[in-house]
Amino acid sequence: ATATAATTTTTTADPQEGSVLIDTQHEDLVHDVQCDWYGQKMATCSSDRTIKICSLNGGSYEVSATLQGHSGPVWQVSWAHPQFGVVLASCGFDGSVLIHGEVRPREWTILHAAHQLHSSSVNGVCFAPPEFGLQCAAASSDGRVSVLRHEPETQVWSVEYLEDCPMGVNAVSWAPAGAYYDASSSANQETPRLVTAGCDNGLRFWQCNTSTGEWTQQNVPQCDTATTSAIQHQHKDWVRDVAWAPSLVPNHNRIASCSEDGQVLIWTQAKDDPTSSSSSSSSWTATLVHQFDEPVWRVSWSATGHVLAVSSGDATVTLWKEGLVDGTWIRMDEDQAAAAAAVDATSSGETKEDGTTMLPLSPPGPPPTAAVSEPMPTTTTATTVTGDVSSTAPAPPPPKLAAPPPPPVM
C-alpha cells in the first residue's frame, strides 16, 4: 500500500543569504536532518514520532510527505544510494528500523519494517556504500549492531547481529569502498567495514568476510580510547558520533569522532609500506580538532572529505578544515564555508551531508527516478501529511542520562 502527501505551502529564501531557513512542521524536537545524494530531498526526524520529507528547489522548499510507523521518538535517518531508488532508513527509541521507499512522486511506503529489531533504543542507522549492495547498519543501546541486507534473489531482508559495546552503542559508520587498496590483489578491495562509537568512550572496528558473510571485530587497540594511554588525545566520556571520511587517497583513512567530553578528534591511519597488505591493522593516530565547552552531538564530512561539520551543545554548527602547513584544524568563517561548499559541490557532483545546516541553492543535477531498481516486498504503510501543523523552535540537545540511552531524550 502507498500514501499520498497533502499540499503544503512553499516558502522562498533570498538566494543572497546562501542558506534556507526551513519550517519542518514537526511538533517536537528535531533530532536529525539529512539531504539525499542530489540535494533535492531532505528528511528530518523528531520526537513527535514522524519523519518529514522536504522537496528542495532552488531557494524554495515544500514539506511533501510525513512518514509514520515508529511508536516512539525517531533519532536518525539515512538515505540509500540513488541506484536503489528513493530509499530512506529510520531508527528510533522503539528499537525498530524502518526502510521507507518513494514508489511514485509524493507517495511513500514502508518497504521493510524491522520492528523490535533490538531490545533497546536504536540510536544510529547508516546505509552502506552502493558497492556493497543495499544494506544498512544500526547501533543500539542494547550493546549490539545489526546489519540489515536486502537479498535480491529472494527479495527478503536478512539480519546479522554484532556484539559490540556492552554499555551501549551510539553511532555507526561504514568505510568507503576501496578504502584499503592492495595493488597486488583485488581480494580485499571491496570488503565491508564498520566503525562504531560506544558508551565505553571508545571506537570499535568490524570487517565482513565476503566469502562467508561473517563479521569479525578487528584488533585495533590504538582506537580503544577508553584504555589506551599511548595516544595523546582520547575521549573521556561517551562517544556520541563517528563518521568515516570519503576515501580520496588509497590506504589513507580518516575518521571523525565526537564525545560528551566536548572533544572532536580526527583519527588518521596511513599505510606506511605500499607493498604490505596489512594496512587495515595499521595504527591510528588522533588529532584534536577542538575542545568545546559543551558536549558535541554530531560530526559530518563533506562529499570530498575536506570539510568537517560539527554540531555542539552550545546550539552552534561550525565548519572545520585542516591547515596546509602544520595539519592544525581551523574553524572556517561564513565566507570560507560558502566558498568551500561551492567547490565541494562542483567537484563531487553531489550535495554533502553537512547540507543539514547549509543547503546549496543550486542542486548539482536531476534526481533519480522514484522506482526502486529491484522490486522489494511491501510490508506496512506509511501515512502522510495531515495538514497545517504548528512548528516549534529548535531546542538544545537534552542532558546525558545515567544509563546508556539514545542520543537525545524526550
- pLDDT bin (cut points 50, 70, 90) of residue 185 is low
79-93, 171-185, 303-317, 335-349: which range is least confident on average? Answer: 335-349
- Nearest Cα neighbor of 204 from 185, 218, 215, 191 is 218
Q: In one letter, which amino acid is 192? A: P
Share of the chain above pLDDT 70, in %: 68
pLDDT digit string, tens, across residues 272-318 = 544 444 455 578 889 999 999 999 999 999 988 999 999 999 989 99
48-52, 195-199, 207-211, 383-387: which range is least confident on average? Answer: 383-387
Distance from chain centroid for Cα 374: 24
Q: What is the mean pLDDT of residues 157-177?
A: 96
pLDDT at 386 over 50: no
The answer to whether residues 86 and 99 touch, using CB atoms and an 8 Å cutoff, is no
pLDDT of residue 337: 60
pLDDT of residue 276: 46
235-239, 284-288, 321-325, 350-354: which range is least confident on average? Answer: 350-354
Strand residues in 164-314 grouped as ranges (E) = 169-174, 193-198, 203-208, 215-218, 239-244, 252-259, 263-270, 285-291, 296-301, 307-312
pLDDT of residue 210: 82
- pLDDT bin (cut points 50, 70, 90) of residue 187 is low
pLDDT at 139 over 70: yes
pLDDT of residue 367: 39
pLDDT at 13 over 60: no
- pLDDT bin (cut points 50, 70, 90) of residue 352 is very low
Q: What is the mean pLDDT of residues 322-351?
A: 67
Q: What is the mean pLDDT of residues 343-349?
A: 47
pLDDT at 378 over 90: no
- pLDDT bin (cut points 50, 70, 90) of residue 252 is confident
pLDDT of residue 193: 94
pLDDT at 409 over 80: no
Residues 208, 385: Cα–Cα separation, whole Å: 40
Residues 272, 254: Cα–Cα separation, whole Å: 15
The answer to whether residues 76 and 45 touch, using CB atoms and an 8 Å cutoff, is yes
- More confident: 195 or 4: 195
- pLDDT bin (cut points 50, 70, 90) of residue 213 is confident
pLDDT of residue 282: 73
- Nearest Cα neighbor of 114 from 68, 67, 148, 153 is 148
pLDDT at 397 over 60: no
The answer to whether residues 124 and 117 touch, using CB atoms and an 8 Å cutoff, is no
Question: pTM score, two decimals?
Answer: 0.78
Pinpoint the alpha helices (H) of 280-355. Answer: 334-348
- pLDDT bin (cut points 50, 70, 90) of residue 114 is very high
The answer to whether residues 135 and 127 touch, using CB atoms and an 8 Å cutoff, is yes
- pLDDT bin (cut points 50, 70, 90) of residue 247 is confident
Q: What is the mean pLDDT of residues 239-267?
A: 93
pLDDT of residue 181: 75
pLDDT of residue 332: 92
260 three-state secondary structure: coil
Choose from 231-235, 380-384, 400-404 the range with maximum mean pLDDT: 231-235
Dihedral in degrees, nearest 10, Cα atoms 162, 165, 169, 175: -60
pLDDT at 180 over 70: yes
pLDDT of residue 398: 42
Residues 283, 279: Cα–Cα separation, whole Å: 9
pLDDT of residue 230: 35
pLDDT of residue 326: 80
Q: What is the DSSP string of 155-173?
A: TEEEEEEEE--TT-EEEEE
- More confident: 184 or 386: 184
